[in-house]
Amino acid sequence: MLALALVPAFIGEAHFNAQSYSLNYQWTPERRELDYVRQTGASVETAKEVKIFGLNAFLIERYRTLSERFYAANRALAIRRAGWGGLLTALGTLGYYVAYAFIAWRTVRGDFSIGDLTFLAGSFRRLRNLLENLLMGFSQVAGQALYLDDLFSFFEIRPEIVPPPNPRPFPVPIRQGFVFEDVGFRYPGAERWAVRHLDFTLHAGEVLALVGENGAGKTTLVKLLARLYDPDEGRILLDGCDLREYDIEQLRAHIGVIFQDFVRYHLSAAENIAVGQIDAREDRGRIVEAARRALADEVIARCPGGYDQVLGKRFKTGVDLSGGEWQKIAIARAYMRDAELLILDEPTAALDARAEFEVFQRFKELSAGKTAVLISHRFSTVRMADRILVLEAGQIEEVGTHEELLAAGRRYAELFELQAAGYR
């Protein structure tokens, strides 16, 4: 009877555990949004715009609306849980007292002695506690196990970029270069081709510039080179073999990419540079040399803490840098590694004219014998490249040297003239 009386409460618990799990699960997008709004409203990165555009009220309002809806849903569940829980527990308690009354009645009738009554009452209470704890413990574990399911389904997600079973070693140095054979790629879930019908060769040892309007596919091409994605159509060859046949770790270790949206780590200046080759983070000489090459040494010299200065405003001792200063730090990362292929995706957009010129002079010198890809909207930079590839809406428009393309009088010449006209 005792065990039976506890069953309803146990079932109720299990039911409400499942309900609360599914509430949390269903509200995942809203909970993420809540988190995002909170971060946007309170982080250093967004503070400027939030103040200038006066977004406080807007963000607070959005946070309030969302959190009130979430709170209401949670409260409704909590009330039902408390109501039903109380009722079902009362049932269990009732069972206990009925059994107790039954023993008392039989004692009064003379079936049990007073000693029996005392013994039974004591063991009864303990048995009830034991059973209750057992069942509640069990339902708690079962409730948590629901969340464990999420963990396991997370583990089941397999990476889409997989290394081959018998990977080829990365060629050092690269002998022929990269060949794109009718390469096409769509971002997962996108209908539009980001790039398509790419057919060209990136020769070993050359500096190739990518030019094209916003959204033309320059960054996408770089991501394909670094195998952050595999092409959906065609293939990319490195020294005659498909990129997919190479060891992915080695491939990435030999490619140095600085993306246009590089990360500003709120770590020390030295660590900010060392992320380019994180296992060399103790090698101060190498870090200083990389900083020198990227003109970041002067930036660091101005910091009160030098190379140990924490950058960014997140931490109390942090010092923030200007956009161009951050960019110099990011460029230094590229020089931390002995990359066979160096890729700079608009690395100088925030640099002043002199710094840009110097950075590229050095880049040319230092990338001698190395293959390099350069993305820039500034033609003063682009013309320093050995060859220029012009992309238009994901396709190759033209390829050639600066002089050839100017002579051709097509898109490149048009864009170049447009920019040059602004300086006259």
Ligand X SMILES: Nc1ncnc2c1ncn2[C@@H]1O[C@H](COP(=O)(O)OP(=O)(O)OP(=O)(O)O)[C@@H](O)[C@H]1O
Binding site for Mg ion (CB under 5 A): 219
φ, ψ for residue 402, nearest 5 deg = -55, -45
Q: Is residue 161 at the binding interface for ligand X, with CB under 6 A as the rule?
A: no
Nearest alpha-carbon partner for 371 in 245, 256, 218: 256
Number of residues that bind ligand X (CB under 6 A): 12
Residue 194 touches ligand X, criterion: CB under 6 A: yes
Judged by CB, which is closer to ligand X: 218, or 337? 218
* By the rule CB under 6 A, 421 interacts with ligand X: no
Q: Which is nearer to ligand X, 300 or 375 (CB)?
A: 375
Element (H, E) at 210: strand 207-212
At a CB cut-off of 8 Å and minimum separation 6, what does 381 contact? 209, 348, 356, 360, 374
218 lines the binding site for ligand X (CB under 6 A): yes
Residues 183, 199: Cα–Cα separation, whole Å: 7
* Smallest gap from residue 187 Cβ to ligand X (A): 3
95 binding ligand X? (CB under 6 A): no
286 part of the interface to ligand X, by CB under 6 A: no
Query: Residue 256 binds which one of Mg ion, ligand X, none, with CB within 5 to 8 A depending on kind?
Result: none
Query: How far is CA 106 from its chain centroid?
Result: 70
Beta carbons of 296 and 264 less than 8 angstroms apart = no
Q: To the nearest whole angstrom, how small is the minimum distance from the Cβ of residue 154 to ligand X? A: 21
190, interface contact from Mg ion, ligand X, none, CB < 5-8 Å by kind: ligand X
Rounded distance, CA 318 to CA 312, Å?
5
Annotate each residue in 16-55 with x if it binds ligand X (CB under 6 A) or - if it does not, as one string: ----------------------------------------
Q: Which of 120, 183, 216, 294 binds ligand X (CB under 6 A)?
A: 216
Which residue number, 269 or 390, has a Cβ lying nearer to ligand X?
A: 390
Q: Which stretch binds ligand X (CB under 6 A): 83-91, 210-218, 239-247, 361-369?
A: 210-218
Stretch in the footprint of ligand X (CB under 6 A) among 61-69, 148-156, 209-217, 272-280: 209-217
Note whether 2 and 96 are within 8 A (CB): yes
Q: How far is the CB of 297 from ligand X (least distance, A)?
A: 28
Residue 381 near ligand X by CB under 6 A: no
CB atoms < 10 A from the CB of 273, how many?
32
- Residues forming beta bridges with residue 358, ordered by sequence position: none
- 260 vs 204: CA distance, rounded Å: 24
| Binding of residue 348 to ligand X (CB under 6 A) | no
Token pair in block for residue 358:
């110097």
Out of 17, 139, 219, 309, which residue is the one contacting ligand X (CB under 6 A)? 219
Task: For residue 40, count other CB atoms closer than 10 A to its CB.
Answer: 17
Q: Which is nearer to ligand X, 267 or 375 (CB)?
A: 375
- CB of 296 or CB of 343, closer to ligand X: 343
Residue 248's contacts (CB-CB under 8 Å, 6 or more residues apart) are 161, 163, 167, 227
Question: What is the rounded CA–CA span in Å between residue 181 and residue 202?
Answer: 12
Helix (H, G, I), strand (E, B) or coil at 341: strand
Least Å from the CB of residue 218 to ligand X: 4
Nearer to ligand X by Cβ, of 217 and 256: the residue is 217
According to CB under 6 A, which one of 57, 114, 190, 421 is a site residue for ligand X?
190
Residue nearest to Mg ion (CB): 219
How many helical (H) and strand (E) elements, i.e. helices and strands, does the chain have?
15, 10
Among 17, 139, 220, 381, contact with ligand X (rule: CB under 6 A) = 220
Binding mask 256-285 for ligand X (x = CB under 6 A): ----x-------------------------
Residue 311's contacts (CB-CB under 8 Å, 6 or more residues apart) are 264, 265, 266, 267, 268, 269, 272, 303, 318, 319, 320, 321, 326, 329
Alpha carbon 31 to chain centroid, angstroms: 18
Find the binder of ligand X among 187, 249, 263, 419 (CB under 6 A).
Answer: 187
The answer to whether residue 212 forms part of the interface with ligand X (CB under 6 A) is yes
Chain residues that interact with ligand X, rule: CB under 6 A: 187, 190, 194, 212, 214-220, 260
